[in-house]
Structure 1
Amino acid sequence: MLTIHCTLRARPENTADLSARLAIASQTYMRDAGTLSWTVHQSTSDLTAFMIVEMFADEAAKAVHEANPYFKEHNAIVKPWLVGFEVSLWRSLEGGYVPVEPVELKK
């Protein structure tokens, strides 16, 4: 499983627009094959700060996400609204993810 952690900082005048757009993105991307989760969070202390946590079954699922036509459109729209962003990619540890239906761990 792959997890992408993305932090975004919006221009104050674009905070509401970014918030709305990210909610639409979440609903759109959750339909992609192999996307396990695509959640958006907003800081409680700084409303211009957002965090996105994307979880994909594997590299192929991440590629499906990146090939979604909405991906390029979304990025072009929100980029001017940002003062900064950071993206990091993480891989799950064996046994470090418990699916909805628990399975017996390998020993």
Structure 2
Amino acid sequence: MMTIVARCSVKADKVEDLVELAQDLVKASRSEAGNISYDFYADLADPTKFTFVEVWKDQAAIDLHNTTPHFRGFVDKAGPLFAGPLDITLYRKLT
């Protein structure tokens, strides 16, 4: 299994826009073959910070996810909402 943790900061006036886009992305991604879980978190201390935590069967599932219309659409629409670059880390489960 592989886990992706993607952290982002959003422009203060675009928070609701990102939440709406993320809800659609999460719903569609959870139905993909190879997806174990896909969650979206709001930072309790800063309302402009969010984290996606995704668990995938393998790299092939991630690669396929990255080509889906719902993921590509999210990237295109969410990009202008971000206040800076995303912090994306990929993990491999050991135990």
Q: Same fold (TM over 0.5)?
A: yes
Higher RCO (CA-CA < 8 Å; seq separation 6+):
2
Band the TM-score falls in, shorter-chain normalisation:
over 0.9
Amino acid at match of 1:79: G
Deviation at 1:49, TM superposition (A): 0.3
Task: Give the aligned partner of residue 88 of structure 1.
Answer: 89
Distance of 1:36 and 1:65 partners within structure 2: 12
Deviation at 1:31, TM superposition (A): 0.8
Distance of 2:70 and 2:24 partners within structure 1: 10
Q: How many percent of aligned residue pairs carry the same amino acid?
A: 26
Distance of 1:39 and 1:69 partners within structure 2: 19
Deviation at 1:2, TM superposition (A): 0.6
**Normalising to structure 2: TM-score of the pair?**
0.94
Task: Give the aligned partner of residue 32 of structure 1.
Answer: 32
Task: Give the aligned partner of residue 62 of structure 1.
Answer: 62
Ranges in structure 1 where 5+ consecutive residues have no aligned partner: 97-107
Deviation at 1:76, TM superposition (A): 0.6
Amino acid at match of 2:25: A
Contact 1:26/1:38 (8 A) holds in 2 = yes
**Number of aligned residues:** 94
Task: Give the aligned partner of residue 10 of structure 2.
Answer: 10
Q: Please list every run of at least 4 consecutive aligned residues from structure 1 whose deviation after the TM superposition is greater than 6 angstroms.
A: none
Amino acid at match of 2:75: N
Amino acid at match of 1:87: I
Deviation at 1:61, TM superposition (A): 1.0
**Normalising to structure 1: TM-score of the pair?**
0.84
Amino acid at match of 1:44: L
Distance of 2:64 and 2:19 partners within structure 1: 24
Task: Give the aligned partner of residue 46 of structure 2.
Answer: 46
